[in-house]
């Protein structure tokens, strides 16, 4: 039996009729399945991110654009800008805790600088 669950997002993969599907740990399924998940393409670094919207009991949006991987790792919303998430296997749709690593923004910048030096 699989150790994870797949959830279909509300976002279609560009140029197709298929939707993005995220992998999450079974233990997180109950609370994550209550959220509206979508994939947001960020032009700045040309990457995709999984976000969610919080709904109240009537289905009205309470909060939007909340980064799901940071929430899974327990980061408080007020601290979101202090941290980034690194995907160990490179798959931004694999949101199992074993695949996510919380890093500081400084570590993220240093990592990008190091990668740029290698590519030149």
33 vs 94, higher pLDDT: 94
Cα(63)–Cα(16) distance, rounded to whole angstroms? Answer: 28
- pLDDT value, residue 88: 93
| Pick from 56-60, 70-74, 116-120: least confident | 116-120
CB 96, CB 27: distance < 8 Å = no
Cα(77)–Cα(17) distance, rounded to whole angstroms? Answer: 33
User: What's the pTM?
Assistant: 0.80
Cα(112)–Cα(40) distance, rounded to whole angstroms? Answer: 21
For residue 114, give the DSSP letter: H
Structure tokens at 26: 């079974």
- The contacts of residue 76 (CB under 8 Å, 6+ apart) are none
The rounded radius of gyration (Å) of the Cα atoms in the chain is: 15
């Amino acid at each position: 039996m699989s150790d994870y669950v797949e959830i279909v997002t509300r976002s279609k993969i560009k140029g197709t009729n298929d939707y993005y599907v995220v992998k999450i740990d079974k233990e997180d399924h109950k609370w994550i399945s209550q959220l509206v998940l979508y994939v947001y393409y960020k032009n700045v670094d040309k990457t995709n991110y999984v976000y969610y919207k919080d709904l109240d009991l009537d289905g009205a949006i309470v909060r939007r654009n909340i980064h799901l991987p940071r929430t899974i790792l327990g980061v408080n919303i007020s601290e979101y800008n202090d941290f980034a998430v690194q995907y160990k296997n490179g798959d931004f749709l694999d949101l199992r805790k074993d695949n996510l690593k919380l890093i500081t923004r400084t570590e993220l910048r240093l990592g990008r600088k190091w990668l740029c030096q290698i590519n030149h």
